[in-house]
Amino acid sequence: MGLRSCFGLEAQFGFHEGKILAHRDQFDMWKWSRQAVGLPGLLLGWSPFLKKKIQVEARMQLAKYMAKEAPRVP
């Protein structure tokens, strides 16, 4: 079992015909980054720079996954 994570996450989903079409998470970026990134998150988690860097990386990883694994949505 891994480490417990606690940072107050709220997730919203949009469904169509049993499939997820939209997913949005809302949470405190600084609290999350302290747990996920450690010391850099503690020091810089509040900054727009780190937030943007994390968003760009997440989008790139999602696009990579979708290109390889996810079926095309018409």
8 Å CB contact between 10 and 27:
yes
Give residue-wise pLDDT tens across range 18-54. 888 898 988 888 888 888 888 888 888 888 988 898 8
Full-model pTM:
0.61
| pLDDT for res 73 | 57
8 Å CB contact between 45 and 33:
yes
| pLDDT for res 60 | 95
Q: Which residue did the predictor score with more confidence, 1 or 59?
A: 59
The answer to whether residue 12 scores a pLDDT higher than 90 is: yes
Q: Which residue did the predictor score with more confidence, 65 or 2?
A: 65
